[in-house]
Amino acid sequence: MVKNTLAFLMIMMLFDTCKPQTESESRWCDQLPREANTQFQKSEYSNYWFEVYQVQDSIYAIYEPYQWQEVISYLIIGNEFALLFDTGNGIGDIKEVVNKITSLPIRVLNSHSHYDHVGGNADFDYIYGMDTEFTRLRKQGLPHERVAEEVSPEALCKPLPEGVIAEEHSIQPYEIDEYVAEGFTIDLGNRLLEVISIPGHTPDAIGLWDKENRLMWTGDTFYQGAIWLFAKETNLTDYKRSISRLAKMSKSLKHLLPAHNIPLVDPSLLTELDDALLQIENSEVKGVDSTDGRIHYTFEHFTILMNKD
């Protein structure tokens, strides 16, 4: 979630964690496309707002590169239905894209309940949700005032899609049809997916584990960029425990599929993150203070943003 005075700095850190820039030097979207994403060919399902890549067999990354969150949702196609892991910002019509890719029924599962991952939920008929108080609270949606910055000129690389009015943007309420917990499995017929509870970033944060194909969807628990650990709902103790758990699993994984910036990432970075958190805890690295009470710790492949206290 982007915050006022540090918005530009943080977005540049999402893009280039080694060399944050000021607005006078460069606008963040001038740096697009990300070099790591040039390996992917945009599919025919891409449109004005979304870039769609087929990143694995029956797996599509639905990427929103023109908005500063650079959210990635994933469509995982099964034999009888398809699973949509996250629904993005709710700015573009993700349902329209999904319906072009497949005619199968769609079920939604969110990596967590932050607004940039549940924005399109209200347009779908079947939604899984983690059995947490935070999940229940967030299904009520958010008014325009809470997400207005996400459609501001500073947040966009291009005009909003046709028919989208900035002053009316909000996160619509949605219903959860089935509550799930650690170990819940979704059988797509051609693929078995298991819910892994990894709280910390939010109380309802999950990973989605495809054991047979050695894949792990990590949501906002890990992505390459600036990892935000300063929200009031973030619990650092839980987060460290979750990263330690994922790091132990990393050697059995082939790819991570995060929810921002780059859709296929090396699992060994989980071990790097686990080590980085230990270095911070032991005061072995020095962070850089920000003006709003936050501090960032920069490492080779990511930056960690925390509150000072």
Amino acid at 282: N
Residues pairing with 303 in the sheet: 226, 298
Where in the sequence is the domain holding 151, given as residue range(s)?
A: 26-224+252-265
What pLDDT band is residue 30 in, cutting at 50, 70 and 90? confident
Give the 3-state secondary structure of residue 92.
coil
Q: For position 181, which CATH number holds?
A: 3.60.15.10
How far is residue 66's CA from residue 153's CA, in Å, rounded to a whole number? 11
How many domains are there within the chain?
1
Residue 91 lies in a domain: yes
**Per-residue pLDDT at 25:** 35
**Per-residue pLDDT at 31:** 84
pLDDT in tens, 89-125: 999 999 999 999 999 999 999 999 999 999 999 999 9
Q: Is the model's pLDDT at 3 over the cut of 80?
A: no
Residue 304 lies in a domain: no
**Per-residue pLDDT at 14:** 45
Helix (H) or strand (E) holding 128: strand 127-130
Residue 38 burial (CB count, 10 A): 8
pLDDT in tens, 138-155: 999 999 999 999 999 999
Residue 9 lies in a domain: no
CA 204 to each of CA 18, 54, 112, 124, 199: distance values in angstroms, whole numbers, following the listed order: 30, 27, 6, 20, 6
In eight-state DSSP terms, residue 104 is S
Kindly write down the DSSP assignment for every residue of 186-203, as one continuous string.
Answer: EE-SS-EEEEEE--SSST
Residue 289 lies in a domain: no
Could you tell me the two tokens for 26?
Answer: 């460069």
Quote the pTM value: 0.92
Sheet containing strand 303-307, strands side by side: 226-229, 303-307, 294-298, 288-289
